[in-house]
Amino acid sequence: MSFYDICQRYKDFDLERVFNSVSSNSVKAAFERDILDLKRFIFLLSPEAENNLESMAQKAQVITRRNFGKSMQLYTPLYLSNYCENSCSYCGFNLNNKIERKKLSLDEVQKEAQLISASGLKHILILTGESRGKSPVSYIRDCVSILKKRFSSIAIEVYPLTEDEYAVLVLAGADGLTIYQETYDERLYAKLHLCGPKKDYRFRLDAPERGAKAGMRSISIGALLGLGDWRREAFFLGLHAKYLQDNFPDIEIGVSVPRIQPQTGDFKAARQVSDKNITQIILALRIFLPRLSIALSTRESPGFREALIPLGVTKISAGSVTSVGGHAIYAKPRQEALQFQIQDQRSVNEIKIMLEKKGYQPVFKDWLDF
Amino acid sequence: MTDFLEIAGKKISNRLFIGTGKFASYPIMKQALEAAETEVATVALRRVDADLKDKNIIEYIPKPCQVMINTSGARNAEEAVRIARLAKAAGAGNWIKIEVIRDNKYLLPDNLETLKAVEILVKENFIVFPYMCPDLSIGRRMAQAGASAVMPLGSPIGSNRGIKTRELIEIMINEINVPIIVDAGLGKPSQACECMELGSAAVLVNTAIAVADDPVKMAKAFSTAVCAGRLAYLSGIPVTSKFANASSPLTGFLGGKK
């Protein structure tokens, strides 16, 4: 039994019909409850709930304050390698894209780490393209060991691994796993991932569970919104997060709600996802799962990020660079070498000042290696 | 006033302990601790960043305040013990609030693992304060193992629901011979006062103060309420009754006649 089996149960469920039959009263009754079941989570994602966003926001803010206080966790991504064996049409690292391919040497990782840690950050997210050949587990492990000397929390966002491989990284000092399913729609997934190791839908879908069993302390999942119907994706994302919370109660479960941004290649989002849609998803998730961590990346604009901060977000990235070696090694990355375009280019210090002005404590460190 | 709570040779006159998470900034936290005149503050070791001299949370704890490190992040006894040892090695003292949580949804503590950690840490000369789900048997075992106080929860952390576990806590206060400190779930000063009236030795509050619109005033309000509750407890709170009790007794005319 894994989340794949749960997904199968809902695969042919006519969610659209349910979304469109939700009444105003059922939306109101749903968010007035302390504990919501799955049916009521669907109500909050419905078109009808769009008329109640203000009330949902009020509720979400109270829940977030109570659970996470007036504080915001900060982190930054560090790209180790952009070699990739997949041809995902929506991603800048797609193997068919003619970009310069790089992989940081361990010395370069050291330099990047030094520069990032000078900003005071203690939480880092390391990323690679999906290439077992170019960035094998042993390489990721060595990078984790180097970073462990400067950072108190290291999360990995790499290709899906086996449980034993995750355990190797946990032993080296990784404590967090981030892996996005991109789309929970298995048929659409097959269309978007025609070749490469990523075409194995199930191996990716069950990766968070393998990471949990291997000893990861926090797990973050997500769907790349815009590939399929966003309401459906948000439903499965909530279902997945709840499944992980129920089955791994001692692990911090988090989500991210990235939407497609322009990147190298000519992929156009199949479905536009508006600011209002993203807001509704965050509010619905917060009310459905009060203890869920919600991260917001620099894919979003400064203004939109700031507006979302009080509504349910608990982690934001700062000083982000989405190219390999972009912090210290290669001063000005070329646009085509980015995994995606950054909308919020503010430095760690600028984000810190912004948070303080808004009455939030920027949290640089909230973990320790014990 | 000579009413002290004495723990490990330290005489504590203010029975409001304050947790330091969730505040909008360290300066505000410091002001709140000062306004409450609190003498014990808990700090999560995971939040302590020794690399930042000016931004290290410990620097913002008022000097007379006793720091009690909590083991937030520990999922079992072994991890709690390791955090306690790290805290001691880092110079954060030996007062430890043992917090072992395997449930991220409700943040309810694991009593069995907590008890194991108490047994180990007491032997290593730590002053331990186990945070636990109210339970007489486990509380007794913690006391027997050498816990300096036992800290049952009033309701889940951050829930502001007050002392929902009142019946169980009352039994623990009556039966366990170490101080009982109600920790977690107290959302307003009146609830803290209620705990003190019951005979709780102290209370620990964090969320309700940290996320208040004015945390400094709220800290003061809690402190005042705790003081009032304690005074009431010491004064001997009259027994409540469903019937009226006449102020002038009807059999007063009998005087001392046999």
Q: Which two tokens stand for residue A362?
A: 């920027």
Report pLDDT for A275.
93
pLDDT at B170 over 90: yes
Instruction: Give residue-wise pLDDT tens across range B176-215.
Output: 999 999 998 999 999 999 999 999 999 999 999 999 999 9
Q: pLDDT, tens digit, for every residue of A67-105?
A: 999 999 999 999 999 888 887 777 777 777 777 888 899
Task: Please check whether residue B56 touches A, CB under 8 A.
Answer: no
The alpha carbon of residue B250 is apart from the nearest alpha carbon of chain A, in Å, by: 52
Q: What percent of chain B has pLDDT over 70?
A: 97
CB contact under 8 A, A368 and B86: yes
Q: Is the pLDDT of residue B20 over 70?
A: yes
B75 to chain A, any CB pair closer than 8 A? The answer is: yes
Closest-CA residue in chain A for B210?
A69
Question: Is the model's pLDDT at A340 over the cut of 70?
Answer: no
d(CA A112, CA A324): 10
Q: Is the pLDDT of residue B55 over 90?
A: no
User: How far apart (Å, rounded) are the C-alpha atoms in residues A192 and B11?
Assistant: 68
Quick one: residue B255, left, alpha or beta (phi over 0 = left, psi -120 to 50 = alpha)?
left
Report the SS3 class of residue B13. Answer: coil
Contact B52 A120 (CB under 8 A): yes
Give the chain A residue whose CA is nearest to the CA of B44. Answer: A366
Residue A70 to residue B49, Cβ atoms within 8 A: no
Instruction: Catalogue the E-assigned strands of B103-177.
Output: 127-132, 151-152
> Which residues on chain A place their C-beta less than 8 Å from a C-beta of chain B?
65-71, 120, 122, 152, 217, 245, 249-253, 291, 356, 359-361, 363-368, 370
| B5-235 is a CATH 3.20.20.70 domain | yes
CA distance A348 to chain B (A): 15
Chain A contact for B48 (CB, 8 A cutoff): yes
The pTM of the full predicted model, rounded to 2 decimals, is 0.88
Using the predicted structure, report yes or no on whether residue A333 has a pLDDT greater than 80: no
pLDDT at residue A262 is higher than 80: no
Distance from CA of B238 to the nearest CA of A (A): 36
Query: Minimal Cα–Cα distance from A245 to chain B, Å?
Result: 7
CA torsion A126-A132-A135-A141 (nearest 10°) is 60
Looking at every residue in chain A, the average pLDDT score rounds to 90
CB contact under 8 A, B82 and A370: yes
Contact call for A65 and B211, based on CB within 8 A: yes
- Mean pLDDT (whole number) for B120-147: 97
CB of B161 less than 8 A from some CB of A: no
Asked if B11 reaches chain A (Cβ–Cβ under 8 Å), the answer is no
For residue A214, what pLDDT is reported?
Answer: 97
CB contact under 8 A, A66 and B46: no
| Among chain A residues, CA nearest to B208 | A66
pLDDT in tens, A116-153: 998 889 999 999 988 899 999 999 999 999 999 999 99
Would an 8 Å CB–CB cutoff place B47 in contact with chain A?
A: yes
* Token output for A308: 């979302």
* pLDDT at position B154: 93
Q: Which residue of B has its CA nearest to A241?
A: B105
Cβ–Cβ of A365/B49 closer than 8 Å?
A: yes
Contact criterion met (CB < 8 Å) for A69 and B160: no
- Chain B residues in contact with A365 by the CB 8 A cut-off are 46-49
- Average pLDDT over every residue of B72-91: 92
CB B46 within 8 A of CB A361: no
Q: Which helix (H) or strand (E) holds B89?
A: helix B77-89
Inform me whether the C-beta atom of residue B24 falls under 8 Å from chain A C-beta atoms: yes
- Which of B104, B108, B218 should we substitute to test contact with A (largest number of A Cβ atoms within 10 Å)? B104
Q: Give the closest residue to A252 by CA, choosing from B249, B34, B169, B102.
A: B102
Q: What is the mean pLDDT of residues A243-257?
A: 96
Q: Which of A105-109, A180-184, A262-266, A318-322 has the lowest mean pLDDT?
A: A262-266
The CA distance from B75 to the nearest CA of chain A, in Å, is 7
Cβ pair B21:A66 closer than 8 A: no
Q: Which of B21, B46, B52 has its CB closest to that of A367?
A: B46
- Asked whether the predicted pLDDT for residue B252 surpasses 80, the reply is no
Look at residue B51 in the predicted model and tell me its pLDDT: 75
| Cβ pair B158:A291 closer than 8 A | no
User: What average pLDDT does the segment B145-170 reach?
Assistant: 92
Rounded Cα distance between A302 and A299, Å, is: 9
Does the CB of B136 have a partner CB in chain A at under 8 Å? no
pLDDT of residue A141: 97
Tell me how crowded residue A168 is: count the other CB atoms within 10 A of its CB. Answer: 17
pLDDT band at residue A332 using 50, 70 and 90 as cut-offs: low
Q: Is residue A351 predicted with pLDDT exceeding 60?
A: yes
What does the pLDDT average to over B230-257? Answer: 78
Active site residues of B: 97
* pLDDT of amino acid A30: 87
Record: contact A291-B104, CB cut-off 8 A: yes
Q: How many CB pairs under 8 A join A and B?
A: 79
Check the CA dihedral A108-A113-A114-A119 and report its sign: positive
- Residue B257: pLDDT band (50, 70, 90) is low
Taking the domains of chain B in order of start, what are their residue ranges?
A: 5-235
Q: Does the pLDDT value for residue B1 go beyond 60?
A: no
B46 contact A CB<8A? yes
CB < 8 Å to A67, chain B: 158
Other C-beta atoms closer than 10 Å to the C-beta of A8 total: 10
Task: Report the SS3 class of residue A173.
Answer: coil
Phi/psi for A147 (5° steps) reads -70, -30
In chain B, DSSP finds a helix count (H) and a strand count (E) of: 8, 10
Bigger pLDDT: B54 vs A279: A279
Non-local (6+) Cβ contacts of B217 within 8 A are B35
